[in-house]
Structure 1
Amino acid sequence: MTAHAVLEAGLFSPTEGKLVQECAKGLVPISVEAAGDERRLTFELPPAEHRLLTGEEIDELNAILGHKVLADPAPAVVDVGAVWIAAEISDVDSLLGIAPDLASCADFERRLGAIGVCLYAVSDTGIETRSFPTSTGVNEDPVCGSGNGCVASFRLKASQIGQGDSYIARQGRMTGRDGFVSIRIDSDHGVFVGGACITTMDGTLKS
């Protein structure tokens, strides 16, 4: 998360445990709290816009993934500033086994005006997610806040979750990571996305 890097570099200090970050959707408030030796950041997802995929687009997505997504809830393009194609897979094992055609996936994302495809499957402890932002040059994002936020908005619109609900999204196992993202729906149906970050690389880039 960009906010973590900014705080680690000492470029900004939170005011009363909060900071505000600007994105394509406007200003995003972020809460900052200590969690033992870690720093926990939580942001409120900007209001989302949804567009259902057409039948032809769903067929193309299935071909790209080599696996069928669920038809209910219908896959959708979800715009929260970052734009993701969200879809549900029948089970976690099937989700983990998906190996998309990366070149075709990148072309598909560009044509739909999205930065990636974010898939999920319901698990015993919440959900498992995988994010493929192939059009950005990244084959798979190990842990993605905006992707999980889009999935949460998608699930909220499909009435899979509702007011006051919360869950944990696990992500990154197929990239050698094991990340966890917390999702919470407040009393006004706002979506909050949070998690703890660590710094794995620190240095200076010179042109």
Structure 2
Amino acid sequence: MPPIASPGAAAAVAPRLPFLQLDVFAAAPGLGNPLGVVLGAEALDGAAMQALAAWLNLSETSFVLPPTQPGADYRLRIFTPRQELPFAGHPSVGTAHAVLEHGLVRPHKGRLVQECGAGLLPLRVEGEGAGRRVHVRAPRGRTLDARAEAVLASLGAVALGPLPAALIDNGPRWWCVELADEASVRGLGPDLEAMAAANRSDGSVGVAVFARCPGAPHALVVRAFVPADGIPEDPVTGSANAAIAAWLQARHALPAPRFTSSQGRELGRDGVVEIAVDEEGEVWIGGQTQTVVEGTLAW
């Protein structure tokens, strides 16, 4: 019988990397969207990053690398369990929080510049620690020519709002669908298999439904479904909120230049996304991040 290889042999040569698990868009731990962050990830190639993101099974995991473009403070790559994304909101906000907490970068006049697949993106930083707020300027959202019938059918018999459904590309491609009211959004039970098939057919990452909330502390309620990536529902989603804001801006239908959205209560969370559209029409999204887990990772 051949000797059995020691399971520690492979682990002994695996790089030990600083690892954090954060809660993004959360005023306290447990309210937002979890994010895995691997610092100093130069030893990992894309295949290793994808494998780790699939194993962690978080909606996204980000990997921090040295910048390659002038003007950038750091670079990150973002992976869902199934694919790499050029941009995502909660990884951008959360990763900035992580590199600041670990002293890897310092803001210049309250600003950082992130390098990612979508290019160089500026970030605003306010405050320190758990009360720190980070806002990232999302890539400009483009409305794509696409048919919405399959996506709308996956939502079932639900009352729609006045805006037509639109496919918005701001790095990932989100279907943005307005529903009639907050109750319609919170009570929605979509056909996730049909939705996943629709997403795969048009290359969209998922479907973001929203409604206006007159009289509530938040201007919008949002839910985001990503079944084609193995994520039935994402708790709190920066890029989806940015896509919705871009669509509202294009239709001159913003609730205000600055507002907040509520997302995640259907999953036991209570995320708050802060959204602003500046004078140039650029969408900024952000909020608070909580550090929940710190340690080292062998992969």
TM over 0.5: yes
The partner residue of 2:156 within 31, 51, 66 is: 66
Q: CA deviation at 1:69?
A: 6.0
Residue 100 (structure 1) aligns with: 190
The partner residue of 1:138 within 231, 239, 246 is: 231
C-alpha separation in 2, matches of 1:87 and 1:144: 15
Moved over 6 A (4+): none
Q: CA deviation at 1:52?
A: 4.5
C-alpha separation in 1, matches of 2:114 and 2:129: 24
The percent of aligned pairs where both chains have the same amino acid is 36
Q: CA deviation at 1:96?
A: 0.7
Q: How does 1:45-84 map to 2 (within 5 A)?
A: 45-54=138-147, 57-58=148-149, 60-68=150-158, 70=160, 72-84=162-174
**C-alpha spacing 1:78/1:189, structure 2 compared with 1 (3 Å):** same
Q: CA deviation at 1:71?
A: 6.6
Residue 112 (structure 1) aligns with: 202
C-alpha separation in 1, matches of 2:204 and 2:159: 18
The partner residue of 1:178 within 262, 270, 274 is: 270
Q: CA deviation at 1:153?
A: 0.3
Q: CA deviation at 1:18?
A: 1.6
C-alpha separation in 2, matches of 1:140 and 1:2: 22
How many residue pairs end up in the alignment? 203
Residue 191 (structure 1) aligns with: 283
For the Cα contact (< 8 Å) 1:67–1:98, is it kept in 2? Answer: no
Q: 1:66-115: per-residue Cα shift (whole Å, max 9, x none)?
A: 23463742111111112211110111111111122222222211222111
C-alpha separation in 2, matches of 1:37 and 1:6: 14
C-alpha separation in 1, matches of 2:253 and 2:159: 16
Residue 42 (structure 1) aligns with: 135
How large is the Cα RMSD of the aligned pairs?
Answer: 2.1
Residue 159 (structure 1) aligns with: 252
**C-alpha spacing 1:202/1:102, structure 2 compared with 1 (3 Å):** farther
**TM-score normalised by structure 2 residue count:** 0.63
Highest RCO, 1 vs 2 (Cα 8 Å, sep ≥ 6):
2
5+ residue gaps, structure 2, are 1-93
5+ residue gaps, structure 1, are none
The partner residue of 2:175 within 85, 100, 103 is: 85
